[in-house]
Amino acid sequence: MIEATGIKEIIKPENLVYRKTKIMTDNILSYCPGCGHGTTHRILAEVIDEEDLQSQTIGVSPVGCSVLLYNYIDVDIQEAAHGRAPAVATAIKRLLPDKFVFTYQGDGDLAAIGTAETIHACNRGENILIIFINNGIYGMTGGQMAPTTLPGMKSSTSPYGRDVKTMGYPLKMTDIVATLPGTYYVTRQSVNTPANVKKTKKAIRKAVQYQKLDKGTCFIEIVSNCPSGWKMTPVQSNKWMEENMFPYYPLGDLKIPEK
């Protein structure tokens, strides 16, 4: 695939302006241009690398756009059934308590079909990191309405906009899990700007530290865009996210450890 695209011709030391982190594989990402998944994968991989956790990490990938996470991050990974990643991760961490265990889930996976697994893993205070990518839509299946789709927002299964009277309200899972005693660190971030990328990376690093200290569930929501599903250019989608998603899903910490 690399040969076919001619990328190898360009990859020369004299052309290097940006280096791939070691923990990312050479596989070409399947994500659409402008999507937040690639950036999130990258900073997660950076933290695993910088904390020297490659040999200690077991990840759980979901069903959805990031189902192929295991092709991109060079750690041991289990691919879970739709929504079940927190249950899968529960057993991994209980049986291998010294390992760093994370799940990586989208909004359909975590906030619809996996609601029970998510809430109960958080309620038991499983000592895992849950990374929750919220782009308000089912990306992989072609842009259907998600539990997190905003009121009035159009999708392929809410073509006239989400009518909350018949389709319900956007579910704020992060707010819900923050109320549970089992969660230790709950935050909502984004990767739309370099500053926010840094903040998100810092949040992942904190979660790694808390997991080492056996503190309970760490939950990081990353409000993301979906240019393809939203039918926008990457730039438009970031602007739309800032103007529409952020007011409904405000960025910042929802629960931080008591000093």
Partner 1 sequence: MKKELRLMKGNEAVAEAAIRAGADGYFGYPITPQSEILEYLMEANPAETTGMVVLQAESEVAAINMVYGGAACGKKVMTSSSSPGISLKQEGITYIAGAELPCLIVNVVRGGPGLGTIQPAQSDYFQSVKGGGHGDYHLIVLAPASVQEMADFVDLSFELAFKYRNPVLMLSDGAIGQMMEKVYLSPQKERSKVFPDWATTGKPATRERNIITSLDLDPNGMEMHNHKLQAKYNEIREKEVRYEEFQCEDAEYLLVAYGTSARVCQKAVLLLREEGIKVGLLRPITLFPFPTKRINELAGQVKGILSVEMSAGQMVEDVLLAVNGKVPVKHFGRMGGIVTTPEEVVENLKSKIIGG
In the list 31, 70, 132, 185, the residue contacting partner 1 (rule: CB under 8 A) is: 70
> Rounded to whole angstroms, how far apart are CA atoms 139 and 225?
10
Helix residue spans in the chain (DSSP H): 2-5, 7-10, 36-50, 85-95, 107, 115-123, 164-167, 173-178, 194-212, 227-230, 234-240, 246-248
From 33-41, 79-87, 159-167, 184-192, give the range in contact with partner 1 by CB under 8 A: 79-87
State which residue, 84 or 201, has the beta carbon closest to partner 1: 84
From 88-96, 130-138, 140-148, 225-233, give the range in contact with partner 1 by CB under 8 A: 88-96
87 binds partner 1 (CB under 8 A): yes
In the list 35, 45, 65, 88, the residue contacting partner 1 (rule: CB under 8 A) is: 88
Contact between 130 and 86 (Cβ < 8 Å):
yes
State which residue, 120 or 205, has the beta carbon closest to partner 1: 120
State which residue, 67 or 186, has the beta carbon closest to partner 1: 67
As measured in angstroms, the least distance from the Cβ of 156 to partner 1 is 21
> Rounded to whole angstroms, how far apart are CA atoms 220 and 128?
11
> Rounded to whole angstroms, how far apart are CA atoms 102 and 205?
12
3-state DSSP call for residue 169? coil
From 70-78, 154-162, 194-202, 248-256, give the range in contact with partner 1 by CB under 8 A: 70-78
As measured in angstroms, the least distance from the Cβ of 259 to partner 1 is 32
Exposure string for 81-108, b = 16+ CB within 10 A, e = fewer: ebbbbbbbbbebbeeeeeebbbbbbbbb
Which residue, chain included where needed, has tokens 């596989």?
27
Q: Which of 127, 64, 73, 119 is nearest to 99 (CA)?
A: 127
Q: Please give the size of the binding site for partner 1, defined by CB under 8 A.
A: 30
Task: Look up residue 216 and give its two tokens.
Answer: 């309970």
In the list 36, 65, 74, 185, the residue contacting partner 1 (rule: CB under 8 A) is: 74
Convert residues 91-130 into a mask of x (bound to partner 1 by CB under 8 A) and - (unbound). Answer: xx-xxx--x----------------xx--x----------
- Residue 94: CA count within 13 A, CB half-sphere: 10
Q: How many residues does the chain have?
A: 259
State which residue, 80 or 208, has the beta carbon closest to partner 1: 80
In the list 89, 129, 145, 173, the residue contacting partner 1 (rule: CB under 8 A) is: 89
21 binds partner 1 (CB under 8 A): no
Please give the residue ranges that form the binding site for partner 1 (CB under 8 A): 54-58, 60, 67, 70, 74-81, 84, 87-92, 94-96, 99, 116-117, 120
